[in-house]
Amino acid sequence: MVRTRFAPSPTGSLHLGNARTAVLNWLYARQQGGAFIVRFEDTDLERSVEGAERDIQDALEWLGLAPDEGLFAGGEHGPYRQSERVEIYREHAERLLAEGRAYRCYCTPEELEARRTEARAGKGDVRYDGRCSGLSSEEAGGLIASGRLASVRFRVEPGVIHYRDRVRGDLTVDGEQLGDQVILRSDGRPTYNFAVVVDDLLMGVTHVIRGAGHLSNTPKQVLFYEALGAVPPEFLHLPSVLAPGGGKLSKRAGAPGLLEYREQGYHPEGLLNYLSLLSWSSPSGEEVLSRDQLIAEVDLDRIGAANPEIDPEKLRWLSGQHYRHESVDVLERGLRDRLAGRFEPEARQLRALAEVLRERILILADADPVCELVLPEPDLSSSDAVEVLREPKAGRALRQVARRWERLQSWSRAELKEELAAAGREAGLKGRQFYHPVRVALTGAVQGPDVPDVAYILGRETTAARLALGLVAAEDGERGGG
């Protein structure tokens, strides 16, 4: 059974690069009928951020990446937080000590750094020199008596280490280049490479799909698997996701937290679609793919080694495509949540808003200017509004439109548009002389969405009331001008 995992550190929000890794792990597990595990690697307590675990989980839930096992989902292979598994790591380290595959190292961090500095100055070898690997029991006892705390180091023998990456193929490194590896620090906490192997081994992970930044860790982890008598999982290192134009992703360069995309109203299926295709493409050549299509078509062998760049416009476009491909109900619910606390449109107005905006917006934030323009009562006292409504022919335009729209049987966008054009012809007006007074009466502004769309959103009664108020202002202008 395929078992994949996503193992973020709770040091901040989930950004697009990390989310892409989670998406591919989830898709592959779903395609293969396997399990998707989410665990948190929090042994670096100094960098952990309060609330980050919950934020990451919320982001995964928003994308629809429900884990089969994890900190919030439970499961039989827990705990799913590394800081709660320290005794497990110690047990495995003790096993390697007993088998002679590891030894205790009493060198202090200050001593190690001093040796590295000296080696760099003389262009020597900065790797650990193994001086504690052959300590006698008397020597070790003396160091312990002096108050020294011991870390645990894994013995790395010289010789070629073979490992395989599904993207890059067969790779090798000489063990002599690695040096003896610390697996437990002197305070008892595990190092990343050791903890992740123990976790993946005990959780039955079959496929390790992660970022290319971990590629150099793989030979060390392969050695740990072999020492623990296990076959390594299959490794696939994804190319790094770059900021727009290249360079490392950062909050300022294309990598806001995933929950910020939710706040801006990106369609979660559009974001899932985009992240899925950052490293592979559909054989069909299609770009707008449903969740079911992504599950069916994800192909680890189609992942290339080139580093993709975030394309914000492509991401926005895919979001809009998913709003257009889905029922208008989806957008209606999104608008209701977004407008809560600011506007309370009637049910019919909310539905009309969704129908109109579905063709116009890419993310929900694009709806804000329209809602802020159309839903409040128009301000007819602004200088722009007063100037338009005092034009000599403004009253004529408003009377004709009100008369034509009043007779409408069906308040449809098509009929509103048709009757608006007929009103202009009857009034003998066109262009700004005709449209500006109508738009100002409905919204208080001379620019905005198409006038028939505004009327459709407002509804018959509200439109008639606003035209009437606009006509009063225009007639005042006519009398003043006479």
Q: Cα separation of 201 and 225, whole Å? A: 8
Q: Cα separation of 57 and 38, whole Å? A: 9
Q: Is 251 labeled as catalytic in the residue annotation?
A: yes
Q: For 258, how many CA atoms within 13 A lie in the half-sphere containing its CB? A: 31
Rounded to whole angstroms, the maximal C-alpha distance in the chain is: 113
The CA distances from residue 470 to 135, 384, 421, in Å, are 94, 13, 19
Q: Cα separation of 93 and 153, whole Å? A: 9
| Burial (Cβ within 10 Å: 0-12, 13-18, ≥19) of residue 17 | buried
| Burial (Cβ within 10 Å: 0-12, 13-18, ≥19) of residue 307 | middle
How would you classify the pairing of strands 169-174 and 35-38? unpaired
Contact 193, 224 (CB under 8 A): yes
The CA distances from residue 454 to 2, 359, 365, 404, 448, in Å, are 53, 14, 18, 16, 9
Opening angle at CA 324, ends 323 and 328, nearest 5? 75
Q: Which of 92, 57, 52, 94 is nearest to 74 (CA)?
A: 57
Q: Which string of b and e fits 289-305 if b means at least 16 CB within 10 Å?
A: bebeebbebbebeebee
**Residue of 123, 220, 248, 251 with catalytic role:** 251
Q: Which string of b and e fits 207-234 if b means at least 16 CB within 10 Å?
A: bbbbebebbebbbbbbbbbebbeeebbe
Write out the catalytic residue numbers: 251
